[in-house]
Amino acid sequence: MTKCQQLSDDDLLLAIERARVAIEGQKLVLAKLVAGTLEFQDTVDHRELVDTHILTRAMQESDLRDLEAEWQRRHDMHRYTLYTAVEM
């Protein structure tokens, strides 16, 4: 059982919202880094910093996709259960 599957519906929704907020925060941090250090763009330190934020955001987006997929799976299963109950 994955981490997502262990969460209650409320906790899953909260985790989805937190992931979305974290991703937006990463976008803002990256935008400020790029804007604030345009003259230092070609330095190794600047590139490493930007790469770190891009990687972090990519991992958060991957987690968000997993959380949203679990939410979708639960609701598809719920709809299927309701549909089969109506057929009987």
Ranking 49-53, 65-69, 72-76, 83-87 by mean pLDDT, the lowest is 83-87
Q: Is position 15 within any domain?
A: yes
Is the CB of residue 23 less than 8 Å from the CB of residue 61? yes
pLDDT more than 90, % of the chain: 31
Average pLDDT, the chain: 82
Residue 30 is assigned to a structural domain of this protein: yes
C-alpha span between 30 and 51 (Å, rounded) = 10
Distance CA 73, CA 82 (A): 14
Neighbours of 70 (CB within 10 A): 19
Q: Is residue 3 part of a domain?
A: no
Instruction: Identify whether 43 is part of a domain.
Output: yes
Domain that holds residue 49: 9-87
Interval 44-57: pLDDT, tens? 777 787 788 888 88
Total domains, the chain: 1
Tell me the pLDDT band of 82, cut-offs 50, 70 and 90. Answer: low
Question: Does residue 31 belong to any structural domain of this protein?
Answer: yes
Residue 73 CA neighbour count, 13 Å, CB half: 9
Whether 4 maps to a domain, the answer reads no
Neighbours of 15 (CB within 10 A): 19
Residue 1: the pLDDT is: 67
